[in-house]
Amino acid sequence: MAELPKVAIVGAGSVGCFIGGCWQAAGLPVSFIGREKLAEDIRANGLTLSDYTGWQTHLPDVDYRTDMAVIGECDIIVLTVKSADTAATAREIGARSRKGATIISFQNGVGNADMLRQELGDWLEIVPGMIPYNVAYLGGGRFHKGVAGKLFAEDRPETRRLAQAIGDGPAALSLSRDMLGLAWGKLLINLNNAVNALSGRTLLEELSEHDYRRVVAASQREGLRILRRARIKPKKVGAVAPSLLPLVIGSPDWLFNKLFLKAWKIDERARSSMADDLASGRKTEIDYINGELVRLADRLGTEAPVNKAIVGLIRWAEAGAKPWEPTALRREVLKR
Ligand SMILES: NC(=O)C1=CN([C@@H]2O[C@H](COP(=O)(O)OP(=O)(O)OC[C@H]3O[C@@H](n4cnc5c(N)ncnc54)[C@H](OP(=O)(O)O)[C@@H]3O)[C@@H](O)[C@H]2O)C=CC1
Ligand SMILES: CC(C)(CO)C(=O)C(=O)O
């Protein structure tokens, strides 16, 4: 990999188009692999990327495809499909990729890298990654990063070279030797995704309501208890240590809205990816977030009533149930 690595983004939707677009803007050769609807849009409009700071760039020439033919030429494969699609997509990648190429998972949840190891471990180098920020598809080839944060990938020689090639910028790559800890830290933050989706509101609107935050805080407190029991140490993602998350999220409005919400730089359009899934009638990743804790609790012989209740409400919402008002959601989940 003496020259710039050739990158394929597989599952080029919100996150994939943003990351791949930023890396192309940084000078890397990037091919995007995704669905025909986005291919048409990007063919017509190119790719426009923006973020919450007002930064914007436009890429008129984008190699967006709907087949994997190019994958055999790529050094770095970035996987950005939803978790339920990981195994099937990995098999497609395995059939076409070059032995020894690197695949990085930028997905929510804690199990995608293991799934990739299972499907592709003897063929590709499997690298866990983590995406801390939100990306919204705004139509017309536009993708907007709505929350602050830096991408992470496991610290290895090939990711060090990649990070150097990308340089600084909105999709800069940081490296870590504790990706599993980061994945669990991110999962604790992602417990807000379901409440955001159930609220039917933007992240800012939802997080400014104390009753929604009380539900999130309770699911995080329960998550932390289960992780302690499993001897899993979640790592800090963002400004707040995992053990303090329930305290900060559950704090009263006068403190939370004035201090924390302002400092987090959340764009007023931003919603969680689970809210996007519900809005477009797709199955959510609930089984890989709150559901992961429910399964872990089960394996440990303990209970996860708050997260279990939230999984149930998301199932209803997937079947078409209406959004929840703050107090009604608090009463339904916390029974108080
Ligand atoms: N969006 C966000 O702000 C954030 C997302 N994440 C995580 O990032 C991951 C990606 O999310 P996001 O970008 O929102 O997802 P999107 O649904 O926007 O993008 C994934 C795309 O991959 C397509 N796809 C699925 N299987 C294949 C395949 N085999 N070949 C080609 N394309 C395929 C999907 O098509 P189809 O829908 O037809 O299946 C979809 O268009 C998720 O794990 C999510 O939780 C993390 C942080 C923030
Ligand atoms: C909003 C964010 C960045 C954190 O919950 C996210 O991970 C998502 O939308 O899936």
Read off the pLDDT band of 46 (50, 70, 90): very high
Are 248 and 256 in contact by the 8 Å Cβ rule? The answer is: yes
Q: What number is the average pLDDT over the span 4-18? A: 97
Read off the pLDDT band of 146 (50, 70, 90): confident
pLDDT in tens, 175-197: 999 999 999 999 999 999 999 99
Distance from the alpha carbon of residue 300 to the mean position of ligand 1, in angstroms: 31
- The SS3 assignment for 135 reads strand
65 or 146: which carries more pLDDT confidence? Answer: 65
Is the pLDDT reported for residue 139 higher than 50?
yes
- Residue with the smallest CA separation from ligand 2 atom 1 is 272
Pocket of ligand 1 (CB under 6 A): 10-11, 13-16, 33-35, 80-83, 85, 89, 92, 107-108, 131, 134-135, 273, 285
Distance from the alpha carbon of residue 328 to the mean position of ligand 1, in angstroms: 31
**From the alpha carbon of 275, which atom of ligand 2 is closest?**
9
**Residues contacting residue 94 through CB under 8 Å, at least 6 positions apart:** 119, 120, 123, 124
Are 237 and 186 in contact by the 8 Å Cβ rule? The answer is: yes
Read off the pLDDT band of 269 (50, 70, 90): confident
**pTM summary value:** 0.96
Distance from the alpha carbon of residue 15 to the mean position of ligand 1, in angstroms: 7
Domains (ranges, CATH) in the chain?
7-177 (3.40.50.720), 190-334 (1.10.1040.10)
Between helix 326-334 and helix 210-229 the angle, nearest 10°, is 30
Q: How many Cβ atoms are within 10 Å of 39's Cβ, its own excluded?
A: 17
Total residue count of the chain as it appears in this document: 336
Instruction: Using a pLDDT cut of 90, give the percent of the chain over it.
Output: 91
